Amino acid sequence: MESHLNDTADNTMMDLKAIAAAVNPDRLAHDLATLAKFGGRSDGGVARLALDDNDTRARRWLVEQASFLGAKASVDAIGNVFLDVPGRQPSLAPVVTGSHLDSQPAGGKYDGALGVLAGLEALRALKQAGFTPRRPLSLVSWTNEEGARFSPGTSGSAVFCGVRSLEDTRQLTDSDDISLGSALDVCLAELDGAGVPRRPLATPMHAFIELHIEQGPILERDQVPVGVVEGIQGVSWFEVTVTGSANHAGTTPRALRRDAFEGACALATALREAACDSEDRVRFTIGKFVVSPGSVNTIPDHVTFSIDVRHPDAATLKALEATFTQLAQQRWADCQATLTPLAHVEPVDFPNSLTRLLDDTAHTLEITTTRLVSGAFHDAIHLAKHCPTAMLFVPCRHGLSHHPDEHITLSDAVAGTQLLAASLANLTR
Amino acid sequence: MESHLNDTADNTMMDLKAIAAAVNPDRLAHDLATLAKFGGRSDGGVARLALDDNDTRARRWLVEQASFLGAKASVDAIGNVFLDVPGRQPSLAPVVTGSHLDSQPAGGKYDGALGVLAGLEALRALKQAGFTPRRPLSLVSWTNEEGARFSPGTSGSAVFCGVRSLEDTRQLTDSDDISLGSALDVCLAELDGAGVPRRPLATPMHAFIELHIEQGPILERDQVPVGVVEGIQGVSWFEVTVTGSANHAGTTPRALRRDAFEGACALATALREAACDSEDRVRFTIGKFVVSPGSVNTIPDHVTFSIDVRHPDAATLKALEATFTQLAQQRWADCQATLTPLAHVEPVDFPNSLTRLLDDTAHTLEITTTRLVSGAFHDAIHLAKHCPTAMLFVPCRHGLSHHPDEHITLSDAVAGTQLLAASLANLTR
The model's pLDDT over A180-218, given as tens digits with 9 standing for 90+, comes to: 999 999 999 999 999 999 999 999 999 999 999 999 999
Helices and strands in chain A, H and E counts: 14, 16
Task: Tell whether B57 and B203 lie within a shared domain.
Answer: yes
For residue A263, the domain's CATH number is 3.30.70.360
Reduced to 3 states (helix: H, G, I; strand: E, B; else coil), residue B143 is coil
Q: Does A287 touch chain B (CB under 8 A)?
A: yes
pLDDT bin (cut points 50, 70, 90) of residue A332 is very high
**A140-196: per-residue pLDDT in tens?**
999 999 998 998 899 999 999 999 999 999 999 999 999 999 999 999 999 999 999
Q: Which of A229, A251, A310, A400 to mutate to test the interface with B (most CBs of B within 10 A)?
A: A251
Render pLDDT for B269-322 as a digit per residue (tens, 0 to 9).
999 999 999 999 999 999 999 999 998 888 999 999 999 999 999 999 999 999
In this prediction, residue B8 carries a pLDDT of 45
Number of domains in chain A: 2
Q: Is A276 on the interface with B (CB under 8 A)?
A: yes
Report the half-sphere exposure of A69 (CA within 13 A, side-chain side).
27
Asked if B286 and B383 sit in the same domain, the reply is no
Summarised one tens digit per residue, pLDDT across range A260-304 is: 999 999 999 999 999 999 999 999 999 999 999 998 888 999 999
Kindly report the nearest CA distance between residue B149 and chain A, in angstroms. 17
pLDDT tens-digit series, residues B381-408:
999 999 999 999 999 999 999 899 999 9
CA distances from A79 to A169, A383, B28 (A): 12, 16, 80
Q: Is A306 on the interface with B (CB under 8 A)?
A: yes
If asked whether residues B37 and B79 sit together in one domain, one would say: yes
The CA distance from B154 to B136, in Å, is 25
The dihedrals phi and psi of A107, each to the nearest 5 degrees, come to -95, -175
Cα separation, A116 vs A137, in Å, equals 14
* pLDDT band at residue A9 using 50, 70 and 90 as cut-offs: very low
Domain range for B112 is 3-232+348-428
Q: At what angle do helices B180-193 and B53-64 cross, to 10 degrees?
A: 30
Among B324, B345, B366, identify where a domain stops.
B345
Q: 216-255 in A: which are within 8 Å (CB) of B?
A: 216-218, 221, 233, 235, 237, 247-255
Residues B248 and B200 in one domain: no
pLDDT tens by residue, B149-185: 998 899 999 999 999 999 999 999 999 999 999 999 9
Report whether A100 belongs to an annotated binding site: yes
Do A135 and A276 fall within a single domain?
no
My answer on whether A399 and A296 are in the same domain is no
Last residue of a domain, one of B304, B323, B345: B345
Residue A15 counted as an annotated binding residue: no
The CB density around residue A149, as the number of other CB atoms within 10 Å, is 24
Which of A254, A280, A300 is closest, CB to CB, to B253?
A280
Residues B202 and B241 occupy one common structural domain = no
Angle at B254 between CA B250 and CA B256, to 5 degrees: 95
Is the predicted pLDDT of residue A389 greater than 50, yes or no? yes
pLDDT for B14 equals 61
B364 has a chain A CB within 8 A of its CB: no
Could you please report the per-residue DSSP string of B166-228?
HHHHHT-B-TT--BHHHHHHHHHHHHHHTTPPB--SS---SEEEEEEE-SSSHHHHHT-SEEE
Contact B255, B365 (CB under 8 A): no
Please state, in angstroms and rounded to a whole number, the distance separating the CA atoms of residues A27 and A31.
6
Residue A325: CB atoms within 10 A of its CB come to 12
For chain A, give the mean pLDDT: 95
- If asked whether residues A269 and A202 sit together in one domain, one would say no
For B62, how many CA atoms within 13 A lie in the half-sphere containing its CB? 40
Residues with Cβ < 8 Å from B281, sequence gap 6 or more? B311, B312, B313, B316, B373
CATH code of A182's domain: 3.40.630.10
Q: Which positions of B make up the binding site? A: 100, 111, 146, 212, 402
Angle at A258 between CA A255 and CA A261, to 5 degrees: 120
B36 and B178 share a domain?
A: yes
Provide the shortest C-alpha distance from residue B29 to chain A (in Å): 26
Whether A261 contacts chain B with CB within 8 A: yes
Same domain? A53 vs A132:
yes
- Assess whether A246 and A389 both reside in one domain: no
pLDDT value of residue B13: 63
Distance, CA of B287 to CA of B270 (rounded, Å)? 16
Which one-letter DSSP state was computed for residue B304?
E
Residue pairs spanning A and B at CB distance below 8 A: 187
- Select from A302, A326, A345 the last residue of a domain: A345
- Residue B1 pLDDT greater than 70, yes or no: no
b/e for B19-58, b at 16 or more Cβ within 10 A?
bbebbbeeebeebbeebbebbbbeeebbbbbbbbebbbbb
Amino acid, res. A3? S
Question: How does DSSP classify residue B93?
Answer: P
Give the model's pLDDT for residue A8: 45
pLDDT of residue A13: 63
The span from the CA of A94 to the CA of B60, in Å, is 93
- Whether A46 and A154 map to the same domain: the answer is yes
Considering only CA atoms, which of B332, B335, B252 is closest in space to residue B298? Answer: B252
Looking at residue B256, the DSSP 8-state letter turns out to be: G
Q: Which residues of B are annotated as a binding site for Zn(2+)?
A: 100, 111, 146, 212, 402
For residue A79, what pLDDT is reported? 98
